[in-house]
Amino acid sequence: MTSFKKIAPPGSYLYGLFYMPVTRIISSILSTIRSVSEIHYSSFPHIIDMCKYDKFRFKGGVTCRFVYEILRAMKNLNKDMEHFTKDIPILFIHSRNDCICYYGVVVSFYDKLKLKNKELYTIEDMDHILTSELSNENVLNKITD
């Protein structure tokens, strides 16, 4: 879930009737315009170095079309949550301090999800790239359990 805590959560009228149409128009007209490419991981400077020297990572920002598609995927995920298979366990691992995906939206989605076999594992001292940050053993152990 992308960090849109200051605008509107997926499923709200503002999200569906304003943000979706506006981003669709912008992405149709300016589909290849790119946003800012650098995300500042102030808590974990080694992540910045990893991204900087990773030869496979694209160094440009995301396109307007990509932003629209992310918003659309979030809307569809919210709309289709009642169709999730009931017998498959779901594990959400999320950092409370994530600089990209807002924690509150994930908690809201988790609460609305009507499944018995679900778990939200909250990380307090990490950011967005959980498996690459220092002291990630607890995250990796949770995934493999």
How far, CA to CA in Å, does 114 sit from each of 4, 89, 90? Answer: 23, 12, 11
Give the pLDDT of the chain (145 residues) as one tens digit per residue.
445 556 677 777 888 888 888 888 988 888 777 776 555 656 666 666 666 666 666 666 778 888 888 888 888 888 888 888 888 888 888 888 777 777 888 888 888 888 888 888 888 876 666 556 566 777 677 778 7
pTM given for the model = 0.68
Q: Is residue 47 part of a domain?
A: yes
Q: Is residue 80 part of a domain?
A: yes
Q: Give φ, ψ of 99 to 5 degrees.
A: -85, -10
pLDDT at 56: 62
Strands 90-95 and 118-123: parallel
pLDDT at 42: 61
The CATH number linked to 81 is 3.40.50.1820
Q: Is residue 2 part of a domain?
A: no
Q: Is residue 26 part of a domain?
A: yes
The number of folded domains in the chain is 1
Q: Is residue 3 part of a domain?
A: no
Kindly state the tokens that stand for 24: 């669709």
pLDDT at 26: 87
Element (H, E) at 54: none
Residue 24's nearest CA partner among 60, 61, 67 is 67
Range of the domain at 40: 13-144
How far, CA to CA in Å, does 103 sit from each of 4, 108, 116, 121? Answer: 10, 9, 21, 11
Judge whether 48 and 41 are in contact, CB under 8 Å. yes
For the chain, the maximum distance between any two Cα atoms, rounded to a whole number of angstroms, is 46
